[in-house]
Amino acid sequence: MRSHIAEDFSQGSHEANVVRLPSMPRGLALADRVLGLIVSVPAALLVLAEIVLLFSGVCARYVFHQPLVWGDELAGILFLWLAMTGAATALHRGAHMRMTAIVNRAGTEWGAIWDTVALMASLLFLGLIAAPAYAYINQQWMIVTPALEINDGLRVAAIVYGVACMLLMSLVKLLARGWKPAAIGIVISVAVVAGFETAGPVLQSLGNLNLLIFFVGVVGFTVLSGMPIAFSFGLAVFSYLSLSTSMPLEIVVSRMDEGMSQLLLLAVPMFIFLGLLIEMTGMARAMINFLASLLGHVRGGLSYVLIGAMYLISGISGSKAADMAAVAPILFPEMKKRGERPGELVALLSATGAQTETVPPSIVLITIGSVTGVSISALFTGGLLPGFVLAIALCVLVWWRARRVQPVSAERATGAVIGKTLVIALPALALPAVIRFAVVEGVATATEVSTVGIVYSLIAGLLIYRRFDWKRVGPMLVETAALSGAILIIIGTATAMAWALTQSGFSHSLASFMEHLPGGAISFMAVSVVMFVLLGSVLEGIPAIVLFGPLLFPIARDVGIHEVQYAMVVILSMGLGLFSPPFGVGYYGACAVSKIHPDEGIRPIVGYMIALFIGIVVIAAVPWISTGFLKTP
């Protein structure tokens, strides 16, 4: 497999789009650029507006004791517009989460055909959602918001705007393709649609077998063909409802609105921007330099630094891609000079990516709290020690592998050097404490606290580190919007799919099966670990959480498992699958960041994955690791 597979999944196929754009006819290229501007500029401004609004709310409430009663309402209105313009920006930049392993191995000609099939499927989903989205605006037009007295139809108009822009973008991409792959892709797509339409009466008589056809067959086919995962989920739900039920399709749009409009999820774009900000201001480098001065001279010392740096930085940024991009370019050149093999480096980087999934303020923690009702504050508290336990497991393996290796000419840092790097790193090291203090002391909510971190990092970058590039702020805002939109639209369509599964009775059947497993809590936990490892290797953590979290967390409570402990085990199990080759796409993301061929890390990573699995078993067996520091009622 090639290293750009992960780039296509986690960051989209932007490089591929850039390569094709010059071959577009001038009119199509101009249309493509205009469409990109009319979504990316508003999306960036909306991110900036949300930062200002949320931080103003903190100041008004905590400093002036005059809360903005309309603040949350306005933030919610803007948030749906941010989600949809961000999703459209992600489509334009090729930043939607996709699985392109099979397409990339199909060769140039067939790869182009499969890519066209995926594009046609995306067009089909966007075309199907357009009319119900417009109808949903009419339904919401009679609702007026309580504080600002704004018509709610203006808020949900964001869905129509985003869908219309994405539909036009997809049409431009289709017109820009060569006639042969476009023709074959269109024929295949039309044949599939016609087949389903013809089979409509038969499908309505199959009952719950349709769940396999649409939520396994359609989702599996479209995901493997390279279609964005969010669109795959949405197309499956639309197909299921329209061909095998008589339910109105506006329900799909309302479920998507419900999933994307949870104000807790506003923390996602805020923490993504914070992650980009700490890298730009040099705060990440300061922390890494301090750790290197402490451990750089011992056997495997920089490997320990890598583990510690990922733990610290993950606690600030909440974005795994930002974590790896901040650490690898700083540490890897020196580690290579000291004789570390590239395969070992990318294997350890992948392992630390899985290890730090529960370190707050993880986006996955925020998502799991929003869809299951578990306290985000409790998840933030409970996530620290499990990540530390896995860090110890990785450190033990690093020590074992390095015990017979002579250190390569790395001098022990003097006390003066350590003290100097500590002083430089202190403002950066204080950021997690500032975030934690703001939440615990009630200065800011879990949604708002990221803006406290943003303002702190802004001041530190300008006054202390003096590494603030104003020219990068605009691209950072656009990147934040694109990544946020890609995540949020997955949550929206996955919420619709979860609703469809619940209405079909599947959730009751799954709950009954899991609840009556022999062995009680032990069997339930063991099956959950295996299931979420497999889900993590196929899907990103967020879609799996949104789909199965609301179904399984009540069962965990019923069998006596603390919901915070179960959350930690689920998240870490998905992380293990996400970063385990050959299917774990997080591994290919680590390869892309470190510019190391995936083949070099396949063998070294096995030991690290075993160490992580042992750590997960320990966390599953010892509830105190996840719940020991929680406040008891």
Share of residues in the chain with pLDDT > 90 (%): 25
The domain boundary residue, chosen from 468, 491, 518: 468
177 domain-assigned? yes
Q: Is 301 found in the same domain as 256? A: no
State whether 158 and 207 are in the same domain: yes
End residue of a domain, out of 240, 261, 282: 261
At residue 585, the pLDDT reads 65
Together in a domain, 284 and 249: no
- The predicted model gives 207-230 an average pLDDT of 81
Tokens of 167: 């539909």
Domain-ending residue, one of 436, 452, 468: 468
Residue 322's pLDDT band, with cuts at 50, 70 and 90, is low
Q: What share of the chain is helix, strand, coil (3-state, %, to 5)?
A: 80, 0, 20
Q: 583 pLDDT exceeds 70?
A: no
Angle at 484 between CA 478 and CA 489, to 5 degrees: 125
Number of domains observed in the structure of the chain: 2
Structure tokens at 314: 């993950």
- 293-310 pLDDT, tens per residue? 877 677 777 888 889 888
Please provide residue 15's backbone torsions phi and psi, each rounded to the nearest 5 degrees.
-60, -40
245 in helix, strand or coil? coil
CA-wise closest residue to 372 among 555, 581, 121, 576 = 555
In a domain, 65, yes or no: yes
Instruction: Tell whether 127 and 205 lie within a shared domain.
Output: yes
Asked whether residue 50 is domain-assigned, the answer is yes
Residue 633 lies in a domain: no
Q: Is residue 445 scored above 70 in pLDDT?
A: yes
* pLDDT the model gives residue 269: 87
Q: 226 is in which domain, residue-wise?
A: 4-261
The answer to whether residue 235 is domain-embedded is yes
Instruction: Kindly give, in sequence order, each residue whose CB lies less than 8 Å from that of residue 513, ignoring residues fewer than 6 positions away.
Output: none
Q: Cα separation of 224 and 278, whole Å?
A: 35
Calculate what percentage of the chain has a pLDDT beyond 70: 88
Q: Do both 232 and 295 map to the same domain?
A: no
The per-residue pLDDT for range 540-577, each reduced to its tens digit, is: 567 677 778 888 898 898 888 999 999 999 999 988 98
In a domain, 244, yes or no: yes
Helix/strand/coil for 517:
coil
Three-state SS at 515? helix
pLDDT digits (tens, 9 = 90+) for 488-515: 888 888 888 878 877 777 766 777 777 7
- 274 and 253 belong to one structural domain: no
Burial of 21 (0-12, 13-18, 19+ CB in 10 A): middle
Residues 321 and 203 in one domain: no
- Segment among 327-336, 389-398, 412-421 with least mean pLDDT: 327-336
- Are 57 and 170 members of one domain? yes
Tell whether 40 and 148 lie within a shared domain. Answer: yes
Asked whether residue 107 is domain-assigned, the answer is yes
Whole-Å CA distances, 369 to 25, 136, 443: 47, 27, 20
- 254 shares its domain with 278: no
Q: Are residues 202 and 318 in the same domain?
A: no
Q: Is residue 11 part of a domain?
A: yes
How many Cα atoms sit within 13 Å of 394 on the Cβ side?
35
Using an 8 Å Cβ cutoff, are 496 and 256 in contact? yes
Residues 243, 291: one domain? no
pTM of the model: 0.78
**Inter-helix orientation angle 229-244/250-260, to 10°:** 150
What pLDDT was estimated at residue 539?
Answer: 61
